[in-house]
Amino acid sequence: MSDLLPLIALLLGVGAIAGFTAGLFGIGGGAVMVPALFFAFDRLGVGEGVLMHCAVATSASVIIVNGWRSTRGHLARDSVATELIWPQPIAKAWWRSYALWIGVGAFIGAWWLAPRLRSDTLTLIFAVVAGFVALQFIIGRPSFVLRRSVPGGLAPPIAGSAVGALSAVMGIGGGSISVPLLTLCGVPVHRAIGTAAGFGLAIALPATLGFILSGWGISGRPPFSLGYVNLAGFALIVAAAWFMVPLGTKAAHKLSAVPLRRIFGYLLIAVAANMARKTGIF
């Protein structure tokens, strides 16, 4: 028990940070949770072959709760582009829903793609993508846009599925990918963050189901696991994150766009560098 107490404290602390960042950045907290869960499971002796899989799967399960609470908070402030999540009339325009296709991609990524990737490959993907996104937020111009509206047509099934699949294998809520994409399409940063929170929920639910199915019966997982999802890690992080998401949501609407982008970028680049170090690149 004395060996477990520091890990429990670590996960509670990570939960608090993840909850706050979920509300603040619309990212679900995965950028914080995945490295911490990776470290915790490594200390518990989880096999290298499933180490990163368990970290990203457990992170995805927590994002169900964080994403739901964050989305509710941003909806209350009218900062969610609901037409990208549930276009109206939904019976005729369902295929234009980015959230739907993001969810399809997330399930495929968790159920089919992630189990076919090695743990160190998943770690490297996490580090590289997070690093590129971080640089865009740090040195990119907030006013720079590629177009003035979010594309329709084939973009929802193609771009949505890609964002969902990549987010699932990274164990993130997709905000670190969808926020910059939305801002490049002319969506104001606060509205992009709120919409990304909704996308995070669309990613987390099918991704968690996919990780449960793909990890069923796999050896080397930590105790109290359902597939690749560790229920103990889920419970500890959610317990701490629950009270912090609303605080992050309030803070997001008090900060101007420029410092918000830079804080987000510096957080991501620190995480990306640490995860790259884990792969032995430097």
Mean pLDDT of 97-117: 96
- Diameter over CA atoms, the chain: 58
Mean pLDDT of 211-231: 95
Q: Report which of 188, 200, 201 is spatially closest to residue 253, judged by C-alpha positions.
A: 188
Q: Mean pLDDT across the chain, nearest whole number? A: 87
Q: What letter represents residue 200's amino acid?
A: G
| Domain region containing 127 | 4-278
Q: Between the ranges 81-95, 121-135, 180-194, 228-242, where is the mean pLDDT highest?
A: 228-242
Alpha helices in 26-118 (DSSP H): 30-43, 48-76, 82-85, 90-93, 98-108
Candidate from 23-32, 71-80, 184-193, 204-213 with smallest mean pLDDT: 23-32
21 contacts: CB under 8 Å, gap ≥ 6: 27, 29, 31, 32, 248, 267
**H or E segment and range at residue 24:** helix 4-25
Spatial contact of 26 and 74, defined as CB atoms under 8 Å apart: yes
| d(C-alpha 14, C-alpha 94), whole Å | 36
Mean pLDDT of 219-241: 94
Is a pLDDT exceeding 70 seen at residue 187? yes
224 contacts: CB under 8 Å, gap ≥ 6: 230, 231, 232
Give residue 29's pLDDT: 76
Q: Could you report the per-residue pLDDT of 10-66, keeping only the tens digit for each?
A: 899 989 988 887 777 766 678 778 888 988 898 888 988 999 999 999 999 999 998
pTM: 0.88
**H or E segment and range at residue 135:** helix 119-139
Q: Specify the number of domains making up the chain.
A: 1
Q: Could you report the per-residue pLDDT of 231-249, keeping only the tens digit for each?
A: 999 999 999 999 898 888 8
